[in-house]
Every structure is written in structure tokens, then in C-alpha cells.
């Protein structure tokens, strides 16, 4: 089954404790991205990756890091989480060529930073 | 980067048609228009995509005027399960584009 998976689905942590949220897709997609969703602010893109070893900032990259060492994985790293990073996070992937640009979203990771 | 503007919310009743218009005045020549649906605590799900004129699939229609500065998502005969947030997204044709979602339109379908 074609899907995007994220882990963990729920996470409670404390300020300053490094964490990683994993994202994996099994559709051989080149494009992957991370979003955060906050009440009243909709979906905001954090980082995106056009392919392996190619990443770039989205609209709200501060406080986050990403890596793309393999095509299928795109982890989101919070080196020193702060309470303002409490949010619902979504990973997404899609093809980049032709008209098939539908994004497939993961189930979301709800993060609480105390 | 094309920015989108949508109504914040709209109410409807079961069986009615719902039309949501999205404004995207600075849409680029190569940009496509895509609509997503999102239920609470779930990731957005693709509904429909188009470039110009009209596109129809089994769940919705998308109307795009000749100037492409706006688009209208049409949901025929909505049911309670269509209550969701609907996002208009423009862009992504060219490599390297960021993707920017608008604020979304919260649609409430009443019995």
C-alpha cells in the first residue's frame, strides 16, 4: 500500500531535549516536505527536499533541521525544542515530473514541548 | 510565489452544492491549482487539480476562468461527511518551488 508513515504519532518532551521525527514513503517519490499546522495559521511549510542530498527552507525553518540521505526517508530534527514548536506536524511526498504533483500526507505527529 | 486567499468558513446543508472560490492573482504561467481536503487530526487529502477551464472527477469539479486569477471548487450534493477544511494550493510546477497553503476554508455541512 502506497503510504507516508511518521513516527512517533504523539510526543511529549521538555525544552532543550533533542528529538527526531521520522518520515518514510514507499512510492519512490523525489519530493518530500515537512509542514506544521497551528490553529488559525493553516499549514506552513518548514523544509522541503527535491531529491537525495537536496534540501531547502520553506516558510518557517527556524529551529528545525532536516536531512535526506536516502530517497525514502526525510527526518525532521529539533536540536533544542522550545514551547513555540508545540504543534501538529505533517510529512508529505510527491513526484516532481509531469502533472502528477499530488502530495501524499502522513498521519501527523502531535508534539508538545513543555 | 503565488499566494492564495479563501473564505474562512462557510455553512451548507446536506444535499446542497458548495462552491468555494480561491483567489490567486499572481499565479505563474506554469502553476497548477490543486485542492485538498482535511479532516481533524488527519493529513490533507488530494481532491482535484487543474490548469485551466474545467476539471471534473468523481468527487468534485474545478472551474478556472481564462485569466486563471481565481478558481472555484464545487462539491455537488454535500453530505455530513464532507464537513472538513478545504485548501487551495497553487504552484509546484517548476523545480525548487516552495509550497504555500492558504488558510483554508472550513466547511460545515448541517443536517
Digit-coded pLDDT (tens) for A85-98: 999 999 999 886 44
Q: How far is A14 from chain B (nearest CA, A)?
A: 23
Q: How far is A18 from chain B (nearest CA, A)?
A: 24
pLDDT at residue number B39 = 93
pLDDT at residue number B98 = 62
Average pLDDT over residues A97-114: 82
Q: Kindly indicate the confidence band of residue A99, based on its pLDDT and cuts at 50, 70 and 90.
A: very low
Rounded CA gap, A36 and A46, in Å? 7
For the segment B65-90, what is each residue's pLDDT rounded down to a tens digit?
A: 999 999 999 999 999 999 999 999 88
Query: Which of chain B's residues have a Cβ under 8 Å away from the Cβ of A43?
Result: 44, 87, 101, 104
Please give the grid coordinates belonging to residue B68. 486563471
State yes or no: cis peptide before A8, omega within 30 of 0. Answer: yes
pLDDT at residue number B92 = 56
Closest-CA residue of B relative to A34 is B99
Query: Which of chain B's residues have a Cβ under 8 Å away from the Cβ of A109?
Result: none
Rounded CA gap, B88 and B69, in Å? 12
Closest-CA residue of A relative to B32 is A99
Amino acid at each position: 500500500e502506497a503510504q507516508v508513515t511518521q513516527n512517533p504519532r504523539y510526543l511529549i518532551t521538555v525544552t532543550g531535549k533533542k528529538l527526531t521525527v521520522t518520515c518514510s514513503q514507499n512510492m519512490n517519490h523525489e519530493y518530500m516536505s515537512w509542514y506544521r499546522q497551528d490553529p488559525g495559521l493553516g499549514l506552513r511549510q518548514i523544509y522541503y527536499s527535491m531529491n537525495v542530498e537536496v534540501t531547502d527552507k520553506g516558510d518557517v525553518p527556524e529551529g528545525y533541521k532536516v536531512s535526506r540521505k536516502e530517497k525514502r526517508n526525510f527526518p525532521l530534527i529539533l536540536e533544542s525544542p522550545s514551547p513555540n514548536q508545540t504543534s501538529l506536524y505533517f510529512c508529505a511526498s510527491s513526484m516532481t515530473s509531469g502533472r502528477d504533483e499530488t502530495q501524499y500526507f502522513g498521519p501527523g505527529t502531535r508534539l508538545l514541548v513543555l | 510565489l503565488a499566494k492564495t486567499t479563501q473564505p474562512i468558513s462557510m455553512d451548507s446543508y446536506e444535499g446542497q452544492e458548495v462552491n468555494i472560490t480561491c483567489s490567486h492573482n499572481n499565479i505563474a504561467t506554469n502553476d497548477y491549482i490543486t485542492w485538498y481536503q482535511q479532516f481533524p487530526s488527519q493529513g490533507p487529502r488530494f481532491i482535484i487539480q487543474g490548469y485551466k477551464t474545467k476539471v471534473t472527477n468523481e468527487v468534485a469539479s474545478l472551474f478556472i476562468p481564462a485569466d486563471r486569477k481565481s478558481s472555484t471548487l464545487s462539491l455537488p450534493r454535500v453530505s455530513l461527511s464532507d464537513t472538513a477544511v478545504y485548501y487551495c494550493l497553487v504552484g509546484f510546477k517548476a523545480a525548487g518551488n516552495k509550497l504555500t497553503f492558504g488558510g483554508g476554508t472550513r466547511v460545515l455541512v448541517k443536517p
